[in-house]
Amino acid sequence: MNSIGKFFRVTTFGESHGFCIGVVIDGCPAGLKIDANKIQNELNRRKPGQSSISTNRDESDKLQILSGVFNEHTTNAPICMIIPNNSTDSGYYEKNWMNPRPSHADFTAYNKYGGQNDYRGGGIFSGRITASFVMAGAVAKQLLSETLGITIIGFTSSIGGISVPPLSYSEIIRNTELNKVRCPDNDTALKMIQAIETVRNEGDSIGGTVDCIALNIPVGLGDPIFDTLEGELSKALFAIPAVKAVEFGAGKKFSEMKGSEANDPFMILEGKVITKTNNAGGILGGISTGMPLVLKTTFKPTPSISKPQNTVNLQKLEETVITIHGRHDPCIVPRAVPVVESVVAIVLADHALRAGYISPVLEEKA
């Protein structure tokens, strides 16, 4: 359903062309100072119209906190946040909702809900729903940062096969936000931007990958057998529309490796047990090792392209052709970076609470 998490529990609501997009966080510890500007900043990183390469739809995405914050601090009561919608033109959808857009959720939603779903702008299947992840993720980031010093860094690692070269964590942290594709290597960024502009001019779109790293993770997050850190993260990441693959550490490369190459030997550094390499991506047996968490998500190209496409009319059961109008991102990857970070933050906050690394009351009040 529309909830995730056991202790830091996130419930989303709202539709693309409805009144608002919203989220309820249940279980956030009491006593966390909430900086609404930081939440708004994260929303701004995700919102459309940030640059020449994204859609120019105007969505102000103005945060409203409806509950759960008292004297600028959390109370452990549910935190409800919304961003009202505006600038919605549902004309295209009213005319075309019987003609499902290829590789969108139109067809499955129509079937699952007997045509009762809100099809305007994709309804709850719109990428706009990820604004709710960002609001919740921004709170989770503040929680993780305040209590455990955890930093979560996402970046565009490839677009259309153009990949970032290996970089240090500090380079990634320093450079990611310096260009409009959120690629921490500037030369690669320029090539990516060119690739995006090319497909945009063709009326096409392009896929890519977002990597995410989390630093200062304590040993011991994640539960066997089913609630592994990989399992819980991947489940949450697949909630992001367009994600079609999730990898941890060496990920798919493991399939070509030998054990002697893949295994991460243990060693001692400054009295602490670490691993020499981190092919595991910071997770063994589903549980965090204390090494950086490293994961990669693959995004399919935005299915909304302006080229004519074959589809069917569901009412007449006839084949037909559609041309999607509207202002769509030729590449969703750069805007997806804060969304991936947010989802990772939500899962880590939940597991840090489960494992007792964050207590339900952060700070006693006088």
Amino acid 174 reads R
Phi and psi at residue 313, to the nearest 5°: -90, 120
Q: Which residue's CB is nearer to a copy of itself, number 165 or number 170?
A: 165
* Closest CB 180 distance from a copy of itself, rounded Å: 19
Could you tell me the two tokens for 189? 């960024």
The binder of a copy of itself chosen from 247, 293, 341, 352 (CB under 8 A): 247
Could you tell me the two tokens for 286? 């589903």
Taking alpha carbons only, the member of 292, 348, 255 closest to residue 10 is 348
Residue 111 binds to a copy of itself (criterion: CB under 8 A): yes
Q: How many CA atoms lie within 13 A of 121 on its CB side?
A: 23
The binder of a copy of itself chosen from 44, 148, 314, 327 (CB under 8 A): 314
Residue 42 binds to a copy of itself (criterion: CB under 8 A): no
The binder of a copy of itself chosen from 56, 60, 315, 323 (CB under 8 A): 315
Phi and psi at residue 216, to the nearest 5°: 70, 25
Residue 22 binds to a copy of itself (criterion: CB under 8 A): yes
Contact 18, 86 (CB under 8 A): no
Q: Which residue's CB is nearer to a copy of itself, number 124 or number 212?
A: 124
Residue 165 binds to a copy of itself (criterion: CB under 8 A): no
Contact 264, 294 (CB under 8 A): no
* Closest CB 234 distance from a copy of itself, rounded Å: 4
Q: How far apart are CA 222 and CA 63, in angstroms?
A: 32
In the region spanning residues 190 to 229, those forming contacts with a copy of itself, defined by CB under 8 A, are: 199, 202, 204-209, 219-220, 222-228
* Closest CB 138 distance from a copy of itself, rounded Å: 18
Using the contact rule CB under 8 A, the part of the chain among 48-56, 134-142, 183-191, 238-246 near a copy of itself is 238-246
Contact 31, 74 (CB under 8 A): yes
The binder of a copy of itself chosen from 234, 293, 340, 348 (CB under 8 A): 234
The helix-helix angle for 229-237 and 333-354 (nearest 10°) equals 140
Residue 188 binds to a copy of itself (criterion: CB under 8 A): no
In the region spanning residues 74 to 93, those forming contacts with a copy of itself, defined by CB under 8 A, are: 74-80, 82
Q: How far apart are CA 129 and CA 17, in angstroms?
A: 11
Q: Which residue's CB is nearer to a copy of itself, number 187 or number 202?
A: 202
